[in-house]
Amino acid sequence: MMEAQLNGLEVDKIRSDFPIFGRLINGKPLAYLDNSATSQKPAQVIEAMSSYYREHNSNVHRGVHRLSIEATLAYEEAHKKTAHFINASSMEEIVFTKNTTESINLLAYSLMGLLKKGDEIVVTQMEHHSNLVPWQQAARKTGARLKFIEIGSNGELKREGIESAITKNTKIVSAIHVSNVLGTVNDVRHIGQIAHENGALFAIDAAQSVPHMPVDVGKLGCDFLAFSGHKMLGPTGIGVLFGKKDTLGSMEPFLYGGDMIREVSFEESRWNDLPWKFEAGTPNIAEAVGLGAAIDYLRGIGMDNIESYGKSLVRYAYEKLSSAGNIEIYGPPPEKRSSLISFNIKGMHAHDLAELLNAEGIAIRGGHHCSMPLMHLLGITGSARASFYLYNTREEIDRLCEAIGKAKAVFKV
């Protein structure tokens, strides 16, 4: 099948790199369709982390002995790979954190000093809690006002809403790139232009875009970009905050302590160079190595190929699900979305559906997807969500649709 081909590589071959696909769930082959929550990990990532612990384990930036030098080189190499992956100018622009959530918290804390009463922070109405709650807190603590770019009925941001929300009083604009609920791919480049015309800093929550499409921070024109390793074949416990060198350089650190300092006296301290100024304490070294291996894997396949394969899967799923009947699909048409679909079967709770699908070996997510205000706007408390990645197949989507049919029969809807 044409679409099972990815840059000349069989999806079967890709699947064979992922040990978890050897598992049966309730006696059925695993159909893992919960990739927006977290992705599965190829043997190459697992092996890179295991080999780091078996052969190179030590602390970084602290020793002159052989293992410490090897660990430091591996850790710094992971920063360099990440910089190259998103086209940052150097590893100084790559701060490792725990995840997207921590990256955005770092930003909100560090930028709080810029804010005062009368200033504005602008986000969109489709933010994940990670790009909403930290800014709510920053606004509350500084007296700044939090404003929202509105969503239209098509699940896209209103073009005129961008221009009306961002004003000369706006100091920070932080926008989600790809919605984890609607799948909408936002024109973040345009939002960034308007932010900069008004003298504001511009940040992107790229948790759902970096794993699925080529992302180039130069082309997007952002000051900051946050994402998580675990959604892009990497391990949990490693996230990224990209920041432009000059901007990061002028910001206050978020956490204080070891490794982030250059010099300390009893009275005061001076900060280390970038990015270490923002990486206090012993970092997640093996996880950084794992992220580097995930990036190698993704680059080996090609982000363009991954994006087009994801689009072909979502188009197929959208068409099949739309014709299923008694279903409500949220968000824009497939050509305007990334590789995920949220939906509800009328008369069935999303959790009931997720449980019935689990009995068939199919993993989807049901719930509010950490986006309660968006759920409120949609007039629902939750949805089912199927999200795809490079190892998924049309056959798994067929299984999803068949299992939904069975679930509807059980619920008589």
Residues involved in catalysis? 370
* Minimum gap (Å) between residue 210 Cβ and ligand C6P: 10
Say whether residue 124 binds ligand C6P (CB under 6 A): no
3-state helix, strand and coil shares in percent for the chain, rounded to the nearest 5 = 45, 20, 35
List the one residue from 82, 130, 338, 344 that touches ligand C6P (CB under 6 A): 130
Closest CA to 43 of 239, 307, 309, 296: 296
Element (H, E) at 310: helix 303-322
Closest to ligand C6P by CB, 214 or 258? 214
Regarding 363 and contact with ligand C6P (CB under 6 A), the answer is no
Nearer to ligand C6P, 211 or 361 (CB): 211
Mark the segment that binds ligand C6P (CB under 6 A) among 24-32, 98-106, 274-282, 309-317.
Answer: 98-106
Nearer to ligand C6P, 6 or 78 (CB): 78
Between residues 4 and 133, which has the closer beta carbon with respect to ligand C6P?
A: 133
Give the separation between CA 11 and CA 27, rounded to whole angstroms.
23
Contact 298, 287 (CB under 8 A): no
Identified binder of ligand C6P from the candidate list 56, 79, 128, 244, rule CB under 6 A: 128
Which residues in the 18-37 window bind ligand C6P by CB under 6 A? 36-37
Q: How far is the CB of 407 from ligand C6P (least distance, A)?
A: 21
Q: How far apart are CA 86 and CA 232, in angstroms?
A: 13
* Rounded-to-integer distance, Cα 403 and Cα 389, Å: 20
Q: How far is CA 344 from CA 99, 328, 365, 370, 373, in A?
A: 29, 5, 12, 17, 17
Residue 299 CB, nearest distance to ligand C6P (Å)? 21
- Provide the residue count of the chain: 413
Shortest Å distance, C-beta 101 to ligand C6P: 3
Residue whose C-alpha is closest to residue 213's, from 281, 314, 122: 314
How many residues of this chain interact with ligand C6P, rule: CB under 6 A? 17
Please give the helix or strand (H or E) that residue 315 lies within, else none.
helix 303-322
Please tell me whether residue 208 binds ligand C6P under the rule CB under 6 A.
yes
- 384 binds ligand C6P per the rule CB under 6 A: no
CA distances from 396 to 85, 192, 268, 310 (A): 30, 38, 59, 13
CB atoms under 10 Å from CB of 30, counted, come to 18
Q: Which residues, in sequence order, are bridge partners of residue 341?
A: 386
Among 99, 105, 338, 344, binds ligand C6P (CB under 6 A): 99
Say whether residue 369 binds ligand C6P (CB under 6 A).
yes
Q: Rule CB under 6 A: choose which of 124, 170, 174, 228 binds ligand C6P.
A: 228
Residues that bind ligand C6P (CB under 6 A): 36-37, 99-101, 128, 130-131, 176, 180, 205, 207-208, 228, 365, 369-370
